[in-house]
Amino acid sequence: MLIDAGNNADGEMIVNFIKEKGITRLKYVIGTHPHEDHIGGLDDVINNLDVENVYLPQITTNTKTFEDVLDAIENKNLKISEAKKGDSIYLGDAKCEFMLDPILEKDNLNLSSLACQITYGNKSFLFMGDAEKENEETRSWQKVNVLKVGHHGSSTSTSQEFLNQIKPEIAVISVGQDNSYGHPDDTIIKRLENIGAKIYQTKDSGTIEIICDGNQIQINTEK
């Protein structure tokens, strides 16, 4: 399973990274929402790997990036699968549940984010895409071990109420060095620290690899 694929320029790197892991087939590819920094490399992935299922929120945009993804899906004779809150898909013994019904607002594509909770053994991982506080408030949440922090640690996401429910032990923030948005927001870092989460940021740690056997979690980083 692959969730998101970085910017347009990252496509080849991501395909090579996956192939270096000995993976040539992806059962599920999930594009959380149609922003370029999340789906930019998806066309490369779909064009260069054997992909069975593609999940995207039911919202469109007129960018070339989005059109490239649609073209790749069409070229492989695939269809876009819809994910509704409560729907589950399975990868071996791991369960992936879609946690949100996308909020379809053209003016804020972040709200259309597909959020997934993956449970394997007694460990759980929550991937929030760029979902914002408005999404977080649409449901109650349960404790997770690992949080992929929403919207790169922006102040629009990861509310205190949300964190009080999920109480992650580990928080991972995907964020560029010296990015123009000022991500992650200091307020979010303090909230995560205050609940005792160990924080990893790609701008500091580089590649963050988390290995889980269902009982233990091991974290490796490589700049």
Domains by residue range for the chain, with CATH: 1-82 (no CATH), 84-223 (3.60.15.10)
- Band (pLDDT 50/70/90 cuts) for residue 196 is very high
Whole-Å CA distances, 40 to 4, 8, 105, 201: 8, 4, 20, 21
In 3-state terms, what secondary structure has residue 189?
Answer: helix
The pLDDT mean for the chain works out to 97
Mean per-residue pLDDT for 172-190?
94
Q: Are 53 and 47 in contact (CB under 8 A)?
A: no
- Band (pLDDT 50/70/90 cuts) for residue 72 is very high
CA separation for the pair 37, 40 (Å, rounded) = 6
CA separation for the pair 137, 52 (Å, rounded) = 32
Give the strand pairing for 88-91 and 80-81: unpaired
CA separation for the pair 16, 105 (Å, rounded) = 34
Q: At 53, list the tokens.
A: 């299922």
For residue 75, the model assigns a pLDDT of: 97
| Sign of the torsion angle spanned by Cα atoms 185, 187, 190, 195 | negative
Q: Could you tell me where the DSSP H helices lie in the chain?
A: 11-20, 36-39, 42-48, 64-75, 133-136, 160-166, 186-194, 202-205
Q: Give the residue from 44, 43, 2, 41 showing the smallest Cα distance to 23.
A: 2
Q: Tell me which amino acid residue 202 is.
A: T
DSSP 110: G
- Band (pLDDT 50/70/90 cuts) for residue 25 is very high
Tens digit of each residue's pLDDT (9 = 90 or more) over 149-168: 999 999 999 999 999 999 99
- Band (pLDDT 50/70/90 cuts) for residue 145 is very high
Residue with tokens 């994910």: 83
- Band (pLDDT 50/70/90 cuts) for residue 83 is very high
Tens digit of each residue's pLDDT (9 = 90 or more) over 6-24: 999 999 999 999 999 999 9
For residue 24, the model assigns a pLDDT of: 94
Residue with tokens 């992806």: 26
Whole-Å CA distances, 26 to 48, 100, 172: 11, 23, 23
For residue 209, the model assigns a pLDDT of: 97
* pTM exceeds 0.85: yes
Give the strand pairing for 50-55 and 25-30: parallel
